[in-house]
Amino acid sequence: MGSKSISLRAAYALATVLESAGAILLGYKVLETQRFSVIDLPAFQSDELLLGQVAILGASALWMLIATLGKLPVSSTHAHVGSIIGFALTMQGTKGLHMGWVVKILVSWVISPVS
């Protein structure tokens, strides 16, 4: 776009196709990681998980709203994973988390913008 090599319409079309393909092809893996790899499910009672999911959705939605209003770059996946980590730390401390996965995720958040 900046170099005028493609039009705005072509950029939107390309972004639509590639963003959709990424969500379709890789979305399941992201959800699987969020569901099973971040928190240690057996460490929580079912009512804690239910309440936690409501809190996670509310916290991530609030952060998305604040970031968007502040014209900050925003990622719904990052907001959601951050909320999951915050919930687990609040309810169970580090024993409620699979710390190896949490470290991998946090490192990827730092490395991806740099590379």
Parse the chain into domains and list their residue ranges.
1-32, 38-114
Cite the DSSP H helix spans in the chain. Answer: 8-32, 46-69, 76-92, 99-114
73, amino acid identity: P
| Distance from C-alpha of 105 to C-alpha of 44, rounded to nearest angstrom | 21
Q: Is the dihedral of CA 94, 113, 26, 50 positive or negative?
A: positive
pLDDT tens per residue across span 13-25: 998 998 888 878 8
| Distance from C-alpha of 99 to C-alpha of 94, rounded to nearest angstrom | 7
pTM of the model: 0.70
| Distance from C-alpha of 98 to C-alpha of 52, rounded to nearest angstrom | 17
DSSP-derived secondary structure letter, 73: -
86, amino acid identity: G
pLDDT tens per residue across span 63-97: 999 999 999 988 888 898 899 999 999 998 888 89
